[in-house]
Structure 1
């Protein structure tokens, strides 16, 4: 749940609320004709300024009013413990009816999950943005239901750009390097914040690899050690890190710290999520954002898609009720509850249209518009959590002085093969 921790910490830096939601619950039961569904989801620190859990309470209350024969028993687990808690519950034979997690593939492969097609009618299922729905598939069947989505963009400090004589965001890697050099010449400590520290390095890395024509995987599995990926990391090592354009130590720079430094005016450019919008506004920072550029300036790179997952476990006699609750949750009327508010994005086409039509959500439009083109981590592979941990531990070595990108990438492929 490191991504979710980052979202909340960033919002707290500027005293802004995160406008996201969380469900929770465990246990099963019914009372007469009443069916009780157990939901297990993450809880978040309310010091960020928003009672996130209370938003779920409102959804549950509204649902139960509309469906008097169904009760929702909510259990909240601290976000850093949600994955481990869910794994333990499943192992002990105490799986909830519905759960939130970063991980769904192991449960799908073990036959523990209901496919999405059994939960939603065709119009509701078709309403999910295709790129996000496809990321929730294992062997071409969707089990993971996306929620709390994000597609980061390249943010830049307009005041620092003006001081350096720069106009607008760079549109190629050469332009990014030139802008970083100009920023450094005016005393900016970190012209570009390369977030290769042990928090969410897999997101930063994927953005660069996609922009360089590579990625994490191919049809048959992982493909880290490709020519395109090696070239991208070699460019970062020689053109950005070696000249001191990416801060003092990118291998230790976490996303939380990078965002804090951006809000303090110490970072010129970085890849950022929409949660930074509200935080930057609260800090009265002059900023802009743009698509991350392809290496040779041939347009925008595919954006990275990120989200948490909801899933429904196979339990006798509960599939209809679980589907009714999730249909209610992802309906247009509930769209702004789980998306918008300058924190996360709705994952349905109807929800996206609702956000785009809302003048108060104008700042999210460009993030929403790039969602159909999003590309994802290989979350449908059981081995992904192990590979993700290896990326966080090792990728910084590839771009430091004397780093060998080819060796690091081949080691990541080996981790993928050995943990498949």
Structure 2
């Protein structure tokens, strides 16, 4: 088995952490149990480009239990947990290509290694596998029955591909599942982003001004958690509806040009490019802390920051201090990459339980239904979404009401009025 990891000797530590995560993943456990019995993915080659975390490792284990032949590479150079990569290779015999801190050349080499598996299904976290196939590895297209995508950023890329007619196989947007973005994006990103910021800086949020760029589900979660810790939250937006929602949720809303002057922490989570730019760095407070929790490291214009700076030093792990020409300092966290995975451990396993349940069941759905699907982006089927929610409640020991026959009749009729 071919693989490229940091150190196989880390596997025992990773195995224990993987078991700890599994304890909070009851839905995926139930799916794995069924997969082991029914083998719905037997003979299916899956190449996954995901964050190599304890939760991802449990997904890989579930897919393998279902009969899949799985290969994994990292979806971000800083998100890999090296002990987990070692565990997958050593204990589960899953070919893994991921090293925390790998350079761009190694990152794309690992993507090519995953694609050498000649996948029938791709699992993406940012659409790098799909984009590489369509641009460089078109000979793989006949093998593919479909793919899945985990992130907002990746879905944006895939819908653009579909609109332009270049997408050559169906892809299921796991990100659009209610049991994914309502929970993973809001509660997972909200908690793990603040966790990453605090681990990197050990600075006080209470009493600080926290600027959140973007008020999608991730931005909502970050703003909620920052406010809960006593932060004074400012939201920047381009969408008037989301801006109104942020105001009604109790936050100040203003352009980044104004927020840049008063923010202590800046967190981008838009999925777009150059959200914090040269003109914003030029007016920031001395000691401002800037980070990103969107998928790619393009939201902060790092080249502009470097041009403005006369000196750069790594003052703490994951903290690069840039001294500007006038002596002010701007601190960039995690090289502008996903701070919740660069300096922390990503989303809690109880949240990823639902996200990865969607991944597993979507892979099964592709095997069953790919002949009936067109070359476009599909949502997770509502039945799968609802079943995951039901299983999650069951795992949490929560019971809910059921409609009575009379209530069902009332909701299905139009005759009954006031």
Q: What interval of TM-score do these two structures reach, taking the shorter chain for normalisation?
A: 0.3 to 0.5
TM-score (norm 2): 0.34
Q: Which has the higher relative contact order, 1 or 2, with Cα contacts under 8 A spaced 6 or more apart? A: 1
TM-score (norm 1): 0.34
